[in-house]
Amino acid sequence: MSVLSTVSIVDALVQRLREQVLDGELSPNETVAETEVAANYGVSRPTAKGAIVTLVNSGLLRREANRPAYVPDLTAPDIFDIYRVRIPLEVEVARTLASQRASIPAAQAAVAELEGLPDETPTSQLIAADLRFHRALIAAVDSPRLSRHYNGILDEVHLAMKQYWRVLGQEKIAREHARILRAIQSGNVPRATKAMRDHLEGAARIFAEEIAQSA
């Protein structure tokens, strides 16, 4: 007998609120109050609170004393902290995969997808293609603990990219992804690690410069 999986109301609400944040329906600094969420979705306040707590823990929302949860407007220190975690992790992934001369069809498909998307493609689709490349590399290491750790920062990575994608450029990212993948597939460890480090450090630097200019 087949067993059907079910999604709890809290999980479904978490997914919907996550989509609203990452698609830009909820803007930076916009509040996400328990009472409003409960009323908008016809759920109890404990259910709304549970969903909000989950998103606070993932970094997509923030909560401070005497204030409802809200969507963070990421600062330069936020960006550098996210990438301080991300860079050594993904550089080591590039090192591991290059030492194996790994063939990663999912990463190759993600590169081709990003290269082929037209200019008018919604930002959410461009970011999804970008992150599919990085997630494919993580998955190729075949480490459940690594995947769990990476997934723990993925929401904040996505949020940073959503808020500042316009300054990165689709063509530049696709070109850098292709460079990383070529180095991995050729087994060139120094080139693979440098390409990954340059890619991520460059993104963090561009984000920080954009924040400084808009301050």
How confident is the prediction for the chain on average, in pLDDT? 92
- pLDDT given for residue 48 in this prediction: 94
Structure tokens at 8: 């709890």
Cβ 192 vs Cβ 104: under 8 Å: no
Structural domains for the chain: 9-70 (1.10.10.10), 76-214 (1.20.120.530)
Segments of the chain scoring below 50 in pLDDT = 1-5
Determine contact, residues 183/91, Cβ cutoff 8 Å: no
Token couple for 129: 């293609």
Nearest to 134 by CA among 100, 98, 189, 93: 93
What residues contact 81, with CB distance under 8 A and at least 6 apart? none
- Among residues 193, 209, 12, 17, which one has the least CA distance to residue 99? 193
Ranges assigned E (strand) in the chain: 31-32, 62-64, 67-70
d(CA 56, CA 73): 14
User: Is 87 in contact with 198 (CB distance < 8 Å)?
Assistant: no
What confidence score (pLDDT) does residue 7 get?
65
| CA within 13 Å, CB half, 82 | 26
| The predicted structure's pLDDT at residue 168 | 83
d(CA 87, CA 95): 12
